[in-house]
Structure 1
Amino acid sequence: MNLQDAMYNWLSIKKVADERESDDAAQDTRAFFEEILIEDHGISNMDIEVKDPYYIVHYVKNNDPSNMKFPIELIDALLTSIQNEPKYNQ
């Protein structure tokens, strides 16, 4: 999995995990993508900035600070979808 896809997946599920702290599947999935970022891509010091219309993930890779931007609407889509599905809200 490339870095951009891993970061996108991590940020999307992190939004879900942060909103649904008792959702073990969300917590496990967040940890899975975080592990990919750390172990496979050498990412550290991840920090999220919200600057409408983007989430900006600041991180360090190989001692170089960098960032990636993701549209808020795309990242929040997973959480919205889960919230709108009755079987996930019981």
Structure 2
Amino acid sequence: MRLLDSLFYWLQMKLVSEARPDDGAARETVLFFAQILSDDHQLTSFQIESKDELKWYVSYSDKDGAVKTVWFDREAAEMLLHDMGVYTKEDEE
């Protein structure tokens, strides 16, 4: 799986997991993608940096210490939240 795909899926599941803290399957899926990012892509850290009206920003570090930030379309990243009915208007703020 490509790095950007892995980061995107991790972001989607991280958002779901935060919206549904009692959802064990969501937590396990976040950990699954975190393992891929660590093992397959040798990332040492990755986290949500911020969001704005149109984008989610994720930063990550590789084994050499290089830090990079990528962005993902907010609507695409939040699609699972919409599909699950856990997205509310307040989440836009």
TM-score band by shorter chain is: 0.7 to 0.9
Aligned partners of 1:40 and 1:78: how far apart in 2?
A: 25
The amino acid that maps onto 1:66 is: K
* Cross-structure match for 1:20: 20
Q: How many residue pairs get matched?
A: 84
Q: CA deviation at 1:24?
A: 1.0
Q: What TM-score comes out, normalization by structure 2 length?
A: 0.83
The amino acid that maps onto 1:41 is: H
Match runs of 1:67-86 below 5 Å:
67-83=69-85
Q: Which runs of 5+ in 1 are unaligned?
A: 85-90
Q: CA deviation at 1:80?
A: 1.0
Aligned partners of 2:54 and 2:85: how far apart in 1?
A: 21
Aligned partners of 2:69 and 2:80: how far apart in 1?
A: 22
Q: Please identify runs of 4+ aligned residues in structure 1 that moved more than 3 A.
A: none
Aligned partners of 1:12 and 1:45: how far apart in 2?
A: 17
RMSD: 1.3
SS at match of 1:21: coil
The amino acid that maps onto 2:25 is: A
Aligned partners of 2:26 and 2:47: how far apart in 1?
A: 19
Q: Which runs of 5+ in 2 are unaligned?
A: 87-93
The amino acid that maps onto 1:69 is: W
Q: CA deviation at 1:71?
A: 0.9
Aligned partners of 2:61 and 2:44: how far apart in 1?
A: 5
* Cross-structure match for 2:67: 65
* Cross-structure match for 1:53: 54
Aligned partners of 1:74 and 1:46: how far apart in 2?
A: 19
